[in-house]
Amino acid sequence: MSSTASEASTYDLAVIGGGPGGLAAAATAAELGARVVLVDESPALGGQIWRQNRSRVVPAAQPWLARLEAAGVELRLGTTVWQATPPGNLHTSQGPIRARQTVLACGARELLLPFPGWTLPGVHGVGGLQALVHSGLEVRGRRVVLAGSGPLLLQVAASLTSHGAQVLRVAEQAPLSRLARFSLGLGPGKTWQAVTLANPRFRASSWPLEALGTERLEAVRLQRVGGSEILPCDLLAVGFGLTPNLELPRALGCRIEEGAVAVDEHQRSSVRGVFAVGEVCGIKGAPGALVDGLCAGASAGGTTIARPLLRKRDRQRRFGRLLTRTFSLREEIRQLARSETTLCRCEQVDYASVAAHPDWTSAKLASRCGMGLCQGRICGAATQALFGWGPHGVRPPLTPVPVGALFSHDIPPPPPASRESRS
């Protein structure tokens, strides 16, 4: 091989994100002959749901990992993309990567909304607690309450139970009427009632009002039909749904619709050469992310998407829309915080100091809300949900990286279409 260094780092396809969506896209495109690199900031593949570690092997992920390896997908793990320009100029914490096409598979994060006491030790995000358990947190015998909205509550409740936790309550803010309609949409064999009936601790139209405790969590006060209840507990897992990670798509200039990357039937975004799959283009769960990835892999690999796969993908999209409708947040959830409730955790800014401003930019400038370590990922999403403040501009670094990682990213322009040989 006599390729130069810069040619060596030019790929047919760069996939950002190693969750179900990214794995499927990378494997499919590579099997079609594309030279593929898969980048993930985590040191392990699998994304939010399949991430493995020493004590955890995820059977569902195995076939995908095997296919990646067989197809020769290059892995860049522990590598953060902190800026990108179309179609595939990636600035990463480990140096530049250049590709002719990009698949965005960067997933979603939890929507956390402020309520009194939510910053007490012992209060976690639902997904965050799940991840902690996966990486070894011992929950055996601990009393846990899960509260908020979305299917993740029940999934995580089941997982915690299997790890020996004592789940006292699963409080879902959505009303039973909507949940019933949701279960009809799920199709046979997978009804919501089946799931909820299996969990006698489940309550619809119930949500967290206040986490109680002085040094750490001692109890939670929940709204429920006709009143409220106080449950003493050791852990409280809250989550109000997921929200797509839009920093990279927005840096690339992808059109966003209803809070997710807009894609066509080939999973193409509005930017030429940039595809999006999985939760970044709409919350749909891991099976939907896989199907998206298969479609994008085929498109990026230069073939047409098989009809049955298209039909499957359309079903998954309908399911995603049903999810959004079913678990849309009720107005009361936006009224939980008090004036003194922390809204921006990183910079310790309270609700009143933020709510006093007409928009995100002035709130941020004056109160420092959103200026901390999470770069406004949490409070920015919260103020969008609470006050309807538009998404703010994105700037590199999209994720905090070491200062030294910002060096030497003067990416050369794309090579000319026809190359003359020079000596």
Ligand X SMILES: Cc1cc2nc3c(=O)[nH]c(=O)nc-3n(C[C@H](O)[C@H](O)[C@H](O)COP(=O)(O)OP(=O)(O)OC[C@H]3O[C@@H](n4cnc5c(N)ncnc54)[C@H](O)[C@@H]3O)c2cc1C
Q: What does the binding site for other proteins look like in residue numbers (CB under 8 A)?
A: 83, 91, 357-359, 361-362, 365-366, 371-373, 375, 395-397, 400-411
| Residue linked to tokens 């522990």 | 78
Asked whether position 22 contacts ligand X by CB under 6 A, the answer is: yes
Residue 114, interface with ligand X (CB under 6 A)?
Answer: no
- 368-407: which residues touch ligand X (CB under 6 A)? 398-399
Query: Which residue intervals of 266-376 are DSSP H helices?
Result: 285-301, 307-326, 351-355, 360-367
Q: Residue 231, exposed/middle/buried by CB under 10 A (0-12, 13-18, 19+)? A: middle
Nearer to ligand X, 261 or 333 (CB): 261
Choose from other proteins, ligand X, none: what does 282 bind? Cβ within 5-8 Å by kind.
Answer: none
116 binds, among ligand X, other proteins, none (CB under 5 to 8 A by kind): none
Residue from 12, 30, 34, 48 touching ligand X (CB under 6 A): that is 48
Answer for which of 42, 52, 94, 324 binds ligand X (CB under 6 A) is 42
Give 173's contacts (C-beta < 8 A, 6+ positions apart). 148, 149, 205, 206, 207, 240, 329, 330, 332, 333
212 and 230 in contact (C-beta within 8 Å)? yes
Give least dist CB 310 to ligand X, A. 19
Q: Are 259 and 249 in contact (CB under 8 A)?
A: no
User: Which position among 87, 107, 117, 241 is part of the footprint of ligand X (CB under 6 A)?
Assistant: 107
Q: Distance between CA atoms of 25 and 14, rounded to whole angstroms?
A: 10
Nearer to ligand X, 213 or 301 (CB): 301
The tokens for 207 are: 């949500």
Q: Does 172 bind ligand X (CB under 6 A)?
A: no
Does residue 133 touch ligand X according to CB under 6 A?
no
CA–CA separation, 266 vs 332, rounded Å? 39
Nearest approach, Cβ of residue 22 and ligand X (Å): 5
Stretch that binds ligand X, among 2-10, 103-111, 140-148, 251-259 (CB under 6 A): 103-111
Residue 270 engages ligand X in binding (rule: CB under 6 A) = no
Among other proteins, ligand X, none, the one that 18 touches (CB under a kind-dependent 5 to 8 A) is ligand X
Cα 326–Cα 332–Cα 337 angle in degrees, nearest 5? 125
What's the N-to-C CA distance of the chain in angstroms?
17
**Closer CB to other proteins, residue 280 or residue 401?**
401
